[in-house]
């Protein structure tokens, strides 16, 4: 616990704080999957995997998982990109949420250190740094998104693996014959999240915490579209250690000009 406290103190000197709650605007792509139990290797980053709360025994097999690509254009900390995996729900073993099945983000990447710091500090979201590449820029307000978008995510520059080889790559192709429709996260995931304490890393952005945190996430858009999903595997993708293997449904969802809100957490 002392390590987590020291890391938080140092990080406050390095990064601006943006406390919860957050209300954001974004463009987001969702892939839906069902992961096996036990969960696949690399569902956690090696830093969090060493923590006693990162266990597969509380995972509820059969729950729906979501992999999200989010391109934020309006947040308390400016624009940024994000890749997150929510395997499904986990049984909470203590605190006011004891006995409940709640969603949990187990692995997540962003492209800025200050986002890493604030996500970990505010909600115990185990954010790590990565480099993002998109085949098209963010969609301007009032414009239509591209018919096809490829998202490629790489290890951060200067890391010990070859940073030019991605660990995640997916292409989303709009089903042009389908109309836009309203869509909300409540149709796919339990919108109440419970995150365990997270250990601190060597980088000051990787702040550690000592308490459990629960919070609500809501995302919705009046301009959602169905998209075909194709992910890349094989020798052109970084081997294990960065992201779990998963098989998404052949179709997913794109939410244009979406609102994504994250509440102030409760702690115990």
Provide the domain count of the chain: 1
Angle at 83 between CA 82 and CA 86, to 5 degrees: 125
**Number of other residues whose CB lies within 10 A of the CB of residue 60:** 14
At 110, phi and psi to the nearest 5?
A: -135, 170
- Residue 72: pLDDT above 90? yes
Q: Has residue 240 got a pLDDT over 70?
A: yes
- Determine what percent of the chain is predicted with pLDDT higher than 90: 69
Q: In the numeric block, which tokens belong to residue 86?
A: 């929510």
pLDDT for 219: 96
**CA–CA separation, 224 vs 154, rounded Å?**
27
Q: Express each pLDDT in 169-203 by its tens digit.
A: 999 999 988 999 999 988 777 799 999 999 999 99
What residue has token string 């290797």?
41
Asked whether residue 56 carries a pLDDT value surpassing 90, the answer given is no
**13 in helix, strand or coil?**
helix
pLDDT value for 196: 94
Gap between the Cα atoms of 15 and 205, Å rounded = 8
**CB 49, CB 114: distance < 8 Å:** no
Q: DSSP for 125-141, please give it.
A: --EEE-EEEESSPPPPT
Residue 237 pLDDT exceeds 90: no
Q: What is the CATH number of the domain that holds 112?
A: 2.40.400
**Predicted local confidence at residue 61, as pLDDT:** 75
Average pLDDT over residues 6-19: 71
Domain ranges, residue 80: 2-267
Burial (CB count <10 Å: 0-12, 13-18, 19+), residue 107: buried
Q: Where are the beta strands (DSSP E) in 165-234?
A: 168-174, 181-184, 192-195, 213-231
pLDDT of residue 1: 46
Residue 5 pLDDT exceeds 70: no
Whether the Cβ atoms of residue 90 and residue 194 lie closer than 8 Å to each other = yes
Statement: residue 238 has pLDDT above 70 = yes
Using the Cα atoms of residue 260, residue 263, residue 264 and residue 265 in order, give the sign of their dihedral.
negative
Q: What angle do CA 195, 248, 159 make, to 5 degrees?
A: 60
Single pTM value for the model: 0.92
pLDDT digits (tens, 9 = 90+) for 122-159: 999 999 999 999 999 998 887 889 999 999 999 998 66
Query: Which pLDDT does position 226 carry in this prediction?
Result: 98
Phi, psi torsion values for 99, nearest 5 degrees: 85, -5
Residue 31: both structure tokens together: 């892939």
**Model pLDDT, residue 161:** 56
CB 110 within 8 A of CB 129: yes
The pLDDT mean for the chain works out to 89
Which pairing describes strands 266-267 and 213-231: parallel, antiparallel, or unpaired?
antiparallel
pLDDT at residue 140, as a whole number = 84
pLDDT, greater one: 226 or 143: 226
What backbone torsions phi and psi does residue 76 show, to the nearest 5 degrees? -60, -15
Given a cut of 50, whether residue 46 has pLDDT beyond it is yes
Is the pLDDT at 6 greater than 90, yes or no? no
| pLDDT of 53 | 66
Q: Which spans in the chain are helix H? A: 2-14, 46-49, 113-123
* Residue 2 confidence (pLDDT): 44
Please name which of 243, 216, 221, 24 lies closest in space to residue 151, comparing C-alpha atoms.
243
* CA dist., res. 59 & res. 21, Å (int): 27
In this prediction, residue 85 carries a pLDDT of: 96
Instruction: Output the CA–CA distances (angstroms, integers) from residue 263 to 45, 75, 145, in the order listed.
Output: 25, 14, 28
**pLDDT, tens only, 75-129:** 999 999 999 999 999 999 889 999 999 999 999 999 999 999 999 999 999 999 9
For residue 8, the model assigns a pLDDT of: 54
């Amino acid at each position: 616990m002392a390590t987590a406290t020291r890391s938080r103190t140092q990080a406050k000197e390095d990064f601006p704080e943006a406390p919860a709650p957050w209300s954001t605007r974004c463009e987001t792509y969702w892939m839906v999957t069902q992961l096996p139990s036990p969960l696949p290797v690399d569902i956690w980053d090696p830093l969090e995997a060493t923590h006693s709360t990162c266990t597969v025994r509380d995972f509820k097999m059969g729950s729906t998982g979501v992999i999200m690509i989010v391109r934020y254009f309006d947040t308390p900390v400016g624009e940024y990109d994000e890749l997150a995996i929510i395997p499904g729900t986990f049984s909470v073993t203590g605190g006011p949420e004891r006995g409940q099945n709640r969603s949990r983000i187990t692995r997540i990447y962003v492209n800025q250190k200050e986002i890493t710091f604030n996500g970990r500090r505010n909600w115990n979201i185990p954010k790590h740094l990565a480099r993002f590449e998109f085949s098209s820029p963010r969609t301007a307000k009032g414009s239509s998104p591209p018919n096809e978008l490829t998202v490629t995510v790489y290890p951060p520059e200067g890391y010990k693996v070859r940073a030019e080889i991605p660990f995640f790559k997916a292409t989303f192709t709009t089903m042009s014959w389908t109309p836009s429709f309203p869509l909300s996260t409540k149709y796919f995931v339990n919108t109440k999240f419970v995150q365990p304490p997270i250990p601190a890393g060597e980088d000051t952005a990787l702040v550690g915490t000592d308490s459990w945190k629960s919070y609500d996430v809501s995302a919705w858009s009046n301009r959602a579209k169905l998209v075909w999903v194709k992910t890349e595997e094989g020798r052109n993708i970084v081997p294990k250690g960065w992201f779990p293997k998963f098989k998404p449904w052949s179709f997913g969802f794109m939410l244009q000009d979406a609102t994504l809100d994250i509440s102030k957490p409760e702690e115990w």
